[in-house]
Chains A and B, each alone.
With several copies, the nearest count.
Chain A
């Protein structure tokens, strides 16, 4: 889908590279909260996404006719990023991702170990423990984490292939709460930094990219927009815009005015 993406916008040589895989889109989307998988698929196309996060759940034995994610958002078309949403211990997260690897055969995963239902804030102690266990078991771990730059460093040292700090609480739509910490993480990291959670509208995504992040992951901002397909397009363009602005290097801020028209030659 290159022509839908950065490449088409004149960034043909600007790729997001995660664990040796190369992506022309820097926007990763979740597959939850959509009215239907069909809408989900349309949003994924509109977003120009190449990676999607997916959850692992029990097969519903009482209903075989249930609509299947894989029939709409095919693993042939999108890189599946199995997540561990709903896991509150390292043990649960590791068990879940081992099942995911068996189910899909992929070792690139998104780890998240949450502390409580109310905030879904990451439990950084358990997260680091799980990351170490998974990496030693051969997984490529992209990790949802707080914006604590020290823990971000530890996770990178542990071998994580992607650092995914929250912008704000999952599903809150409050944007990037702490740009200073995100900037610190970007400055120190040698693996991709992808803001995960908190983005509410297009400008939030642009701000994340302008801070120098390598990508943005979102779900609610698109799925709960009044028009999810239109918002998916908005997010695609916002991520590209923010990336380009970061690469372009913004003008300085001034306390007073500075005219754009020449002062010479006035009548």
Chain B
């Protein structure tokens, strides 16, 4: 199925959890935050959150800024 991550299309298998996705993305789960369809998904729920077709994800982290 297809989802959007940070505005880009991605294909993922049905039943993929957010935690699994983060791992495949290879990004360190510490220090990131995820918004799914404009709702923040707490880290504690990454493992139990099943992605659905058309999900809009925002995956953000801290960068330098003034």
Complex A–B touching at CB under 8 A: yes
Alpha-carbon distance A33/B65, docked complex (angstroms): 8
Alpha-carbon distance A112/B42, docked complex (angstroms): 25
**A69 contacts B66, C-beta separation under 8 Å:** no
Alpha-carbon distance A231/B58, docked complex (angstroms): 37
CB distance from A177 to the nearest CB of B (A): 19
Contact for A265 among B8, B33, B42, B63, CB less than 8 A? B63
**A54 contacts B6, C-beta separation under 8 Å:** no
Binary flags per residue of B43-64, CB closer than 8 Å to A gives 1, else 0: 1000000000000001111111
Which B residues touch A267, using CB under 8 A?
A: 35, 58, 60
CB distance from B65 to the nearest CB of A (A): 3
Count how many pairs of residues, one from A and one from B, have CB atoms less than 8 Å apart in the complex. 111
Selected interface stretch from A19-27, A96-104, A240-248 = A96-104
Contact for B66 among A33, A56, A70, CB less than 8 A? A33
Of all chain B residues, the one with the shortest Cβ separation from A223 is: B66
Residues of A in contact (CB 8 Å), total 42
Known A-B contacts A61-B27, A99-B33, A99-B40; the reply to A55 vs B64 at CB < 8 A is yes
**A61 contacts B64, C-beta separation under 8 Å:** no
Q: Is B25 engaged at the interface, CB distance under 8 Å to the other chain? A: yes
Known A-B contacts A99-B35, A103-B31; the reply to A57 vs B63 at CB < 8 A is yes
Q: Which residues of A does B touch, CB under 8 Å?
A: 30-34, 37, 40, 53-59, 61, 64, 68-70, 73, 80, 82-83, 85, 95, 98-100, 102-104, 170-171, 219-220, 223, 259-262, 265, 267
